[in-house]
Amino acid sequence: MKNISKPIFYLMMASFVFTKTYSQNVISGKVTIGESDEAVIGANIYIPELRTGTNSDVNGFYQIKNLPKGDFTIQVSYISLKTITQKIKIQHTINQNFVMENAATSLEEVVVTGAGIKTLVKESPVPIAALSRAQWLQSTSTNLVDAIVKLPGVSQIMTGPTLSKPIIRGLGFNRVITVHDGVRQEDNQWGEEHSLHIDEFSIERYEIIRGAGSLMYGSDGLGGVISVISPTPTESEKINGSVLYNYQTNNGLHGFSVNLGGNKNGLVWTGRLSNKNAGNYQNPYDGLVYGSKFRELDYSGMIGLNKKWGFSRIYFSKFGQDINIIDGMRDAQGYFTKQVLINGKATTERVSEEELKNPAINPSNSQSLINYKVSWNNYLMLGRNTFSLNLAYSQNHRQEYGNVLKPFEADLYFFLQTLYYDARFNLAEKNNLEITIGTNGMAQTMNNRGNETLYPDFNLLDNGVFAFAKKKINRLFISGGLRFDLRQLDIHKLYIDTEGKFQTKPSANTTERFAGFNKTFQNATGSFGAVYKINDLLSVKTNIARGFRAPSVPEISSNGEHAGTFRYEIGNINQQSEVSLQNDLGLTFENSSLYIDVNLFSNRINHYTFSERVQNITGKDSMINGVPVFRYQQGNARLLGMEAVVTYNPASARWFSITQSYSSVNGVNLSAKTDSAKYLPFMPPPRWLSNIKLTKNNWGKHLRGAYFSVELEHNQQQNNALLAYNTETKTPAYSLINIGTGATVTNQKKKALFAIYLNINNLLDNAYQSHQSRLKYLDVNQTTGNRGVYNMGRNMSIKVLVPIN
| Residue 615: strand pairing partners | 621
The yes-or-no verdict on residue 76 having pLDDT over 50 is yes
The yes-or-no verdict on residue 696 having pLDDT over 90 is no
Q: How far is CA 152 from the centre of its chain?
A: 14
pLDDT at 7: 45
- What is the average per-residue pLDDT within 625-646? 90
pLDDT at 109: 56
Task: Tell me how crowded residue 606 is: count the other CB atoms within 10 A of its CB.
Answer: 16
Q: Are 75 and 91 in contact (CB under 8 A)?
A: no
pLDDT at 106: 56
Q: How confident is the model at residue 10 (pLDDT cuts 50, 70, 90)?
A: very low
pLDDT at 212: 59
Amino acid identity of residue 285, one-letter, is Y
Strand, coil or helix: 461:
strand
pLDDT at 758: 97
Q: Are 366 and 193 in contact (CB under 8 A)?
A: no
- What does the DSSP 8-state code read for residue 90? E
Q: What is the DSSP string of 348-400?
A: EEEPPHHHHH-----GGGEEEEEEEEEEEEEEEEETTEEEEEEEEEEEEEEEE
225, containing H or E segment: strand 224-229
- What is the average per-residue pLDDT within 593-612? 93
| Separation CA 211–CA 224 (nearest Å) | 4
pLDDT at 111: 65
| Separation CA 481–CA 213 (nearest Å) | 12
- What is the average per-residue pLDDT within 659-668? 96
| Residue 347: strand pairing partners | 340
| Separation CA 543–CA 531 (nearest Å) | 9
| Cα–Cα–Cα angle for 130, 370, 206, rounded to 5 degrees | 5
pLDDT at 254: 97
Going along the chain from its start, the domains and CATH numbers come out as: 2-102 (2.60.40.1120), 128-232+239-277+295-550+564-804 (2.40.170.20)
- What is the average per-residue pLDDT within 480-486? 93
Q: Are strands 627-648 and 594-613 parallel, antiparallel or unpaired?
A: antiparallel
Q: Are 534 and 573 in contact (CB under 8 A)?
A: no
- What is the average per-residue pLDDT within 667-685? 93
Which of 205-219, 250-264, 618-632 is the most confident on average?
250-264
Name the average pLDDT for the chain: 88
* Sign of the dihedral through C-alpha 57, 60, 61, 65: positive
Minimum mean pLDDT range among 143-152, 247-256, 555-564, 701-710: 555-564
Q: Are 524 and 484 in contact (CB under 8 A)?
A: yes
Structure confidence by residue, pLDDT tens digits, 131-149: 888 889 999 888 888 889 9
Structure confidence by residue, pLDDT tens digits, 309-365: 989 999 999 999 999 989 899 999 999 999 888 888 889 999 999 999 988 898 888
pLDDT at 498: 81
Q: Are strands 52-55 and 44-47 parallel, antiparallel or unpaired?
A: antiparallel
Structure confidence by residue, pLDDT tens digits, 432-476: 999 999 999 999 999 999 888 888 999 999 999 999 999 999 999
- What is the average per-residue pLDDT within 24-40? 86
Q: Are strands 627-648 and 44-47 parallel, antiparallel or unpaired?
A: unpaired
| Separation CA 256–CA 711 (nearest Å) | 27
| Residue 754: strand pairing partners | 745
447, containing H or E segment: strand 433-448
- What is the average per-residue pLDDT within 218-226? 86
| Separation CA 380–CA 25 (nearest Å) | 15
Higher pLDDT, 22 or 65: 65
| Separation CA 301–CA 669 (nearest Å) | 45
- What is the average per-residue pLDDT within 408-436? 92
Structure confidence by residue, pLDDT tens digits, 756-785: 999 999 999 999 999 999 899 888 988 888
For 139, 168, 214, 230, the CA distances from 146, given in Å and listed in that order, are 10, 13, 23, 18
Task: Tell me how crowded residue 280 is: count the other CB atoms within 10 A of its CB.
Answer: 27
Task: Tell me how crowded residue 329 is: count the other CB atoms within 10 A of its CB.
Answer: 18
Nearest to 42 by CA among 28, 69, 60: 60
Query: 243: Cβ–Cβ under 8 A, 6 or more apart, which residues?
Result: 256, 257, 258, 801, 802, 804
Structure confidence by residue, pLDDT tens digits, 79-129: 767 788 888 888 888 899 999 887 655 554 566 665 456 777 788 898 888
Task: Tell me how crowded residue 498 is: count the other CB atoms within 10 A of its CB.
Answer: 9
| Separation CA 66–CA 381 (nearest Å) | 13
The yes-or-no verdict on residue 285 having pLDDT over 80 is yes
Say what percent of the chain tops pLDDT 90: 52
